[in-house]
Structure formats: C-alpha cells, structure tokens
C-alpha cells in the first residue's frame, strides 16, 4: 500500500477543459452554440476551439501569458473560454461597459500580450492603448467581426489588428494537441472586480478552482443533462458564473446574443425552448416590465445574483437601517416597493434623522408605461404603510428617471447614501 503514490495515470490535474472533449465525444452531433442564424454542434465547437488555440500559440503566446477579451456574448467569446487556456494562456475578460481609462489600467496591470476585440469595442480599446505609458509593450490585437455580417471593415483595421477571429479559426490546426496544466494549481483565469467601492482588484483562479466551481454550480442549481441555456448574463461578469464550462459538462445548448431586451428574451425562450438563464435583478425587472410579459408554456429556471432580487429579505450589515433602536432590512422595504405596479426600480438607504438616528429613504424610478398619472411621494408611503410595520415605512421618497448603477448593472447604493446624507436630517413626526 505504501507504493500507491500519485502517478500520471491516477492523478490527472483537475481542469474544466476536459468538459469540452467529453461533450464532443458524447454529444458530438448535438447543438452546442446558437447565434442568430448560425448553429454549431459540440464536435464543431471542439474543432474550432482547437484551431483558435493553435493560432494563439502560433502568435508567440506562451504558457502563463495573459490573453484579454473584450466582447459581448457571441460565439467567439464562448469559444475563447476554452481556446485561451488550451493554449496554456490565462484568460482575462474585460467588461465592455468600462471607460477607456479603466481598461487601460487593467491592460497595464495584467501585462496582457494579446487582446481579442469585438468590432463595437474597437475604438474603446484603441483609446485605452493610447493611454498606456510610452515604454509599455503594445499587445497584439485580433478583431472579432459579427458573423451576421453587420460589420463593415475600414482601412484602419489592417493597421491596428493582426487579423480577425475567423481567420485564426481558418488557419489553426484542428489536430492541435493541447497539454494539461503541469499543475491543477496553475492560473487559468484573471478577473477584476468592478470597482464598486474602490479601484478594481485582480482575482486569479486556477484550473482546480474553476473545475470545482463549475461542478458545484451545476449541482447546486440541479442542472440536468442537455439544458437550453440563454446567455442573458455577460460572460465577462465572473466568467458567466462558470456556466461556459458548465453547459459543456452537461452537453447543453448555448443561446448566444449580442444584446437583448424583454421582448427579445421572451421570443428566444419560445423559439428555442429555453430551460435555464442567469442574470442580475435588473434582467428580472426587464422581464416584468416587458409588454410580452405573459405566462410561459414551460417553466424556465432563473439564477439571479449580484444584487438582492425583489423577493429577498436578507441584507448586508451596512444596509441595515437602525431607526429608533429598531433594526430594519432595506431589502425587505424594497421588496414591498417592487410590488407597486408603477415602480420599475427601488433602493432604500438610511437618511440621518435628529430624533430617530436614521430613517428609511426610498429612491424610486417609475415604469414608462402604465397609468396616466404617476404616484406621489405620499401615495408610495401609504402603499408601504399598508404592508409594513410603521417604523419600516420610508419617511422620504425620491423619484429619479434611473437609479445609478455599476458597469455590471448593480444599483450603486453608496451613491444614494451620499445623496441621502447630503439631504440632511429628515423632519418627520416623532411618532
């Protein structure tokens, strides 16, 4: 028994990249990626990822180099979650909603050697590169053009980019032999926080960590074999919560889309028989506000995070409002506000009060459609008073066209807290 030590045959490094090979073997002829009028099977997706990985290696990218991607949820974005680490590189997704200065900071900090750029983000990336210090080595650029053909090439493309994504697919070796990581602890992913409370911070994930996160996510959500997954969650947002690899593990179908709104989501659910989707609560608000908001033929499993959904009642300690010695949950108040038919978005923060210490202050945006007359501050308060203890009822209601949000769609409560604090002590009844 003492001789039973780890060997290559019994101690293969854990990595989610093997999920793609398995999908190509088990579900080879089943649809893997659907985007507009384009559909790939798992064997085709596997082949394309190998070709892109081969081309990445041919560009001089070595093991441990960082490869960045700035793109929406198009097939190239999905494939790069496999192709980049298959080439031994570290994948770094960049939020397409960031400004040029922040993108420049991330590129400099990550020392990115290659950037895949969606054609709609080209000017943003070029501006970000122009902000780098003069002695910084400029990364190679590859342009992701739209497969629907709505992209028109320009003369500057040839100067700034070494090629297009599809050219890398065509030139790549479909027999490319990718190597397992030398250790499952090797870095695979480099992400950055959205900078909600401070400057963005880098977060590195290893192959083992991503493998475990992926498997845990599938088990925790109870995802069964061959789901139809709608990509309403940006893959640049924490790698789509691990589901690029997770959907491969269960042989599902990825419904990719560049942009969406409520009607688009409902149409795709019906067209493709969507079974699963993820998104921040802002996506749920989008659905409830949609004119196509009707009962679905079949249930759709929705996983939400990033900010408390309307039905939540738990809260972080910094969002607990202490009014007259009573602790009240701002999220519980928000959940009631969201039941008002005219409310589109709601956030509740503490406003200073000379007598109570703090009182709830509600910031509300209203739906564009609905009744001809918008509710007043008093009517919102009376609505809450009928459903909440009196000490939890907002003592102030502020109407805004839109609530401030981060680049990932989370409501910026710290901005609202500053506004409430600047309003000074509320003058309300002491009873």
pLDDT at position 18 is 97
CB 100 within 8 A of CB 117: no
**CATH T-level topology, domain 17-146+158-259:** Rossmann fold (3.40.50)
Q: Which has the minimum average pLDDT: 180-189, 298-307, 365-374?
A: 365-374
- Report, as an integer, the average pLDDT of 345-364: 92
- Report, as an integer, the average pLDDT of 40-49: 98
Q: Name the token pair of 194.
A: 């959205």
Taking only the tens place, the pLDDT of each residue in 218-257 is: 999 999 999 999 999 999 999 999 999 999 999 999 999 9
Mean pLDDT of the chain: 90
Q: Name the token pair of 227.
A: 């789901």
Taking only the tens place, the pLDDT of each residue in 146-157 is: 865 445 554 444
Answer whether residue 276 shows pLDDT above 90: yes
pLDDT at position 242 is 97
- Report, as an integer, the average pLDDT of 357-383: 89
Rounded to the nearest 5°, which phi and psi values hold at 88? 90, 0
pLDDT at position 102 is 87
DSSP 45-77: HHHHHHHHHHHHHHTT--TT-EEEEE--BSHHH
Percentage of the chain exceeding pLDDT 70: 91
Domain residue limits, the chain: 17-146+158-259, 318-423
Q: How many CB atoms lie within 10 A of CB 325?
A: 8
Name the strands in the sheet holding 140-144, side by side, starting at the edge strand that comes first in the sequence. 163-164, 140-144, 114-118, 66-70, 90-93, 187-192, 202-206
pTM, to two decimals: 0.80
Strand duo 38-41 + 31-35: pairing? antiparallel
- In this structure, the dihedral spanned by the alpha carbons of residues 266, 272, 275 and 280, taken in order and rounded to 10 degrees, is -40
pLDDT bin (cut points 50, 70, 90) of residue 312 is low
Provide the CATH number for the domain formed by 318-423 in this structure: 3.30.300.30
Taking only the tens place, the pLDDT of each residue in 50-59 is: 999 999 999 9
Q: Name the token pair of 156.
A: 């500057």
Percentage of the chain exceeding pLDDT 90: 71
DSSP 236-260: TSHHHHTHHHHHHHTT-EEEEBS--
CB 276 within 8 A of CB 335: no
- Within this chain, domains 17-146+158-259 and 318-423 share the same CATH topology: no
Q: What is the rounded distance in angstroms from the CA atom of residue 267 to the CA atom of residue 168?
A: 33
């Amino acid at each position: 028994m003492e001789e039973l030590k780890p060997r290559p045959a019994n101690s293969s490094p854990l990595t989610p990249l093997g999920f793609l090979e398995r999908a190509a073997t088990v579900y080879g002829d089943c649809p893997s990626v659907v985007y507009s009028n384009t559909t790939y099977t798992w064997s085709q997706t596997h082949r394309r990822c190998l070709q892109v990985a081969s081309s990445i290696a041919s560009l001089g990218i070595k093991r441990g180099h960082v490869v960045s991607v700035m793109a929406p949820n198009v097939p190239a974005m999905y494939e790069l979650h496999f192709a980049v680490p298959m080439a031994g590189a570290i994948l770094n997704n960049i939020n397409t909603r960031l400004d040029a200065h922040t993108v420049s900071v991330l590129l400099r900090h990550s020392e990115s050697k290659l950037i895949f750029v969606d054609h709609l983000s080209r000017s943003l990336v070029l501006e970000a590169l122009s902000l780098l210090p003069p002695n910084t080595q400029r990364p190679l650029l590859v342009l992701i053009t739209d497969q629907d053909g709505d992209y028109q090439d320009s003369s500057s493309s040839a100067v700034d980019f070494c090629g297009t994504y599809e050219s890398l697919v065509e030139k790549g070796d479909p027999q490319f032999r990718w190597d397992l990581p030398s250790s499952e602890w090797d870095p695979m992913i480099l992400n950055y926080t959205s900078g909600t409370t401070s400057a963005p911070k880098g977060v590195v994930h290893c192959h083992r960590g991503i493998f475990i996160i992926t498997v845990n996510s599938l088990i925790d959500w109870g995802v069964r074999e061959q789901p139809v997954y709608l990509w309403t969650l940006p893959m640049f947002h924490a790698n789509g919560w691990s589901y690029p690899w997770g959907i491969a593990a269960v042989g599902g179908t990825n419904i990719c889309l560049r942009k969406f709104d409520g009607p688009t989501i409902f149409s795709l659910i019906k067209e493709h028989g969507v079974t699963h989707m993820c998104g921040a609560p802002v996506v749920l608000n989008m659905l409830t506000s949609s004119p196509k908001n009707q009962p679905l033929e079949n249930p759709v499993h929705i996983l939400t995070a990033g900010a408390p959904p309307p039905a939540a009642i738990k809260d972080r300690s910094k969002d607990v409002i202490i009014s007259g010695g009573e602790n009240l949950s701002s999220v519980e108040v928000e959940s009631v506000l969201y039941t008002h038919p005219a409310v589109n978005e709601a956030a509740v923060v503490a406003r200073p009060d000379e007598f109570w210490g703090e009182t709830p202050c509600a910031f509300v945006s209203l739906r564009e459609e609905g009744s001809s007359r918008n509710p007043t501050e008093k009517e919102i308060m009376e609505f809450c008073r009928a459903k909440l203890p009196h000490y939890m009822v907002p003592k102030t209601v502020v109407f805004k066209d839109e609530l401030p949000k981060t680049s990932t769609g989370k409501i910026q409560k710290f901005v609202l807290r500053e506004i409430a604090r600047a309003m000074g002590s509320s003058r309300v009844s002491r009873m």
